[in-house]
């Protein structure tokens, strides 16, 4: 036991060095550079330029004719999580996804094979205020969950509006919220209770030698206090314009400006408000009509949001889509004519901004992490195939060298390897079906 603890305590992510030469470097923030080299030392991009020399012992990769871009960032994923929903109350802000991270989940390798180096492993959408999410780096090969938690990434928390929390709690449990009015009330009540809790502690702390006992510690309320104090970024599952507008108003009232909307299918209707008052929206490229609240969607959503000045990203929420986010981003050229730069920002620097890690990743700049992906063709071409993917300068995916079978753990209880014909891709509502019956959840976002 002691050994395990000290091992965890010492766990430090491995960092590597590599020189990638002669690529078309898509920096995202500073345009493209033809025939350029990128040198990563000890996990950090040291130099970008021409004719760079590799220090002794540093591997050189010739990327002539290929494209190098920053590792793709998925602002909404459930890959690498053993559980997704703590669907037991409308507010469960005390639970943390970092407690259920599983670094051996094959979905993480498949994401690397799609050039994705960082994902936002989120709580599900069963509750109005769900659990705290984990930002993870896809360091494939470790069995220690701590190794893949991104150091220094800000705390984020899942909120959810609309059909999912009203189904789970209103229709499933017969408690508030059953409507979008109830959803607002849950948030207001939670925030106000948190303010009372904060004041109780402030009163106690201002006079610790007084006669009152310290307030009883409450992790759920303390987390809400941290949200109100701007220490946690809200990532809110949302679809309809009315509910998006509601949360903007509530957050304005409580002085909260660290707010990102997730899915946001009707975000295009309130794009000016999202642009002005929030950290933007993270959307699907083209998913719609799988449930009623996404029936009035448009695949032009990302383009409308971008052109209105909202920070916009494209996410997967899916073990399948996470493997081709570059293609999902490319759809904004069919649906709204975004430029190459705008389209690629949707899966790099913009999600980095929404996760509060744009000082570390999301572009190829000196001083940023060596999270990189090499493509055989321009990443916005439908025929593009990722060739190699690096996290912190270490190569975790190589299309030519990797074995087919990349499993780290194999279940000893499975005599025959299971075949999944309808893989559970979309796990926003995972963990709720068994409580409330399948009929309530024919979809899962």
Partner 1 sequence: MKKTKNILFAFLLALIPFMVSAQIDGEFVKARTGTFLLKNATVMTVTNGTLENASVLIKDGMIAGVGTNLSEDGAEVIDLSGMFIYPGMIDGGTSLGAVEVNSVAETVDNREIGNVTPNMQILTTINPNSVAIPVTRVSGVTTVLSKPVGGLFPGTAALINLNGYTPDQMYAGFKGVVMNFPSSARRGRFDRRSDDDIEKAKEKAVKEANDIWENAVNFHQMQSEGAEMQYYPEMEQLAKVVAKELPLLIEVNAASDILNAIDWVEGKDINVIFMGCDEGWRVAEELAESGIPVIAGPVQDLPTRASDRYDAAYANPGKMMKAGVKVAIRTNEVENVRNLPFHAAYAGAYGMGKEEALKAVTIVPAEIFGVADKYGSIEEGKRANLLVSTGDPFETSSDIMHVFIEGYRIPLSNRHIRLYQEFLERDPGLGN
Residues that bind partner 1 (CB under 8 A): 106, 109-110, 113, 163, 268-269, 271-273, 276, 286-292, 295-300, 303-304, 307-308, 319-320, 323-324, 327, 330-331, 333-337, 380-385, 404-407, 415-425, 433-434, 441-443
How far apart CA 384 and CA 282 sit, in angstroms, is 23
Crossing angle of helices 241-253 and 180-206, rounded to 10°: 20
Judged by CB, which is closer to partner 1: 138, or 155?
138
Least separation in angstroms between residue 26's CB and partner 1 is: 15
Judged by CB, which is closer to partner 1: 141, or 215?
141
* Those residues with Cβ within 8 angstroms of residue 279's Cβ, 6 or more apart along the chain or in another chain: 233, 257, 258, 259, 260, 311, 353, 354
DSSP for 260-308 reads EEEE-TTGGGGHHHHHHHSS-EEE-SS--SSSGGGTT--TTHHHHHHHT
Judged by CB, which is closer to partner 1: 224, or 244?
244
Least separation in angstroms between residue 254's CB and partner 1 is: 21
**Burial (CB count <10 Å: 0-12, 13-18, 19+), residue 420:** exposed
- Is residue 131 within 8 A of residue 158, CB to CB? The reply is yes
The total of other beta-carbon atoms located within 10 Å of residue 111's CB is 30
Judged by CB, which is closer to partner 1: 29, or 298?
298
- Is residue 100 within 8 A of residue 123, CB to CB? The reply is no
Judged by CB, which is closer to partner 1: 360, or 426?
426
Least separation in angstroms between residue 339's CB and partner 1 is: 10
Q: For residue 352, which phi and psi values (nearest 5 degrees)?
A: -60, -40
Least separation in angstroms between residue 398's CB and partner 1 is: 12
List the structure tokens of 154: 């800000």
Least separation in angstroms between residue 429's CB and partner 1 is: 11
Judged by CB, which is closer to partner 1: 139, or 323?
323
């Amino acid at each position: 036991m002691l050994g395990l603890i000290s091992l965890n305590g010492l766990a430090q992510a491995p960092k590597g060095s590599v020189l990638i030469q002669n690529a078309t470097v898509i920096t995202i923030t500073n345009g493209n550079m033809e025939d350029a080299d990128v040198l990563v030392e000890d996990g950090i991009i040291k130099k970008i330029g021409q004719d760079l020399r590799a220090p002794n012992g540093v591997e050189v990769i010739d990327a002539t004719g290929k494209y190098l871009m920053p590792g793709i960032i998925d602002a909404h994923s459930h890959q690498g999580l053993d559980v997704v929903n703590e669907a037991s109350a409308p507010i469960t802000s005390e639970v943390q996804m970092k407690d259920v991270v599983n670094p051996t989940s094959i979905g993480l390798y498949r994401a690397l094979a799609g050039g994705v180096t960082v994902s936002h492993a989120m709580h599900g959408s069963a509750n109005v205020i769900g659990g705290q999410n984990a930002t993870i780096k896809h360091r494939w090969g470790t069995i220690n969950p701590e190794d893949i938690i991104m150091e220094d990434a800000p705390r984020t928390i899942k909120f959810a509006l609309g059909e999912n929390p009203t189904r789970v709690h209103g229709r499933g449990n017969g408690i508030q919220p059953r409507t979008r009015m109830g959803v607002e009330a849950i948030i207001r009540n939670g925030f106000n209770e948190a303010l009372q809790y904060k004041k109780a502690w402030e009163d106690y702390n201002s006079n610790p030698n007084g006669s009152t006992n310290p307030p009883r510690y409450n992790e759920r309320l303390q987390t809400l206090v941290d949200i109100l104090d701007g220490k946690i970024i809200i990532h809110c599952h949302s679809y309809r314009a009315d509910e998006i507008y509601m949360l903007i108003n509530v957050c304005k009232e409580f002085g909260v400006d660290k707010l990102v909307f997730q899915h946001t299918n009707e975000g295009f209707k309130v794009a000016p408000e999202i642009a002005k008052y929030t950290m933007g929206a993270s959307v699907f490229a083209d998913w719609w009509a799988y449930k009623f609240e996404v029936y009035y969607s448009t695949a032009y959503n990302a383009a409308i949001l971008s052109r209105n000045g909202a920070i916009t990203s494209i996410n997967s929420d899916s073990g399948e889509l996470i493997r081709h986010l570059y293609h999902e981003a490319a759809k904004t050229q069919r649906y709204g004519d975004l430029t190459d730069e705008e389209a690629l920002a949707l899966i790099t620097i913009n999600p980095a901004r929404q996760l509060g890690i744009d000082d570390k990743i999301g572009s190829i700049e000196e001083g940023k992490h060596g999270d990189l992906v090499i493509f055989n063709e321009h990443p916005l071409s439908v025929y593009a195939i990722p060739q190699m993917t690096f996290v912190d300068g270490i190569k975790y995916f190589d299309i030519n060298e990797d074995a087919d079978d990349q499993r780290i753990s194999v279940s000893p209880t499975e005599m025959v390897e299971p075949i999944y014909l309808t893989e559970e891709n979309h796990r926003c509502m995972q963990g709720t079906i068994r409580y409330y019956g399948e009929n309530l959840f024919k979809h899962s976002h």
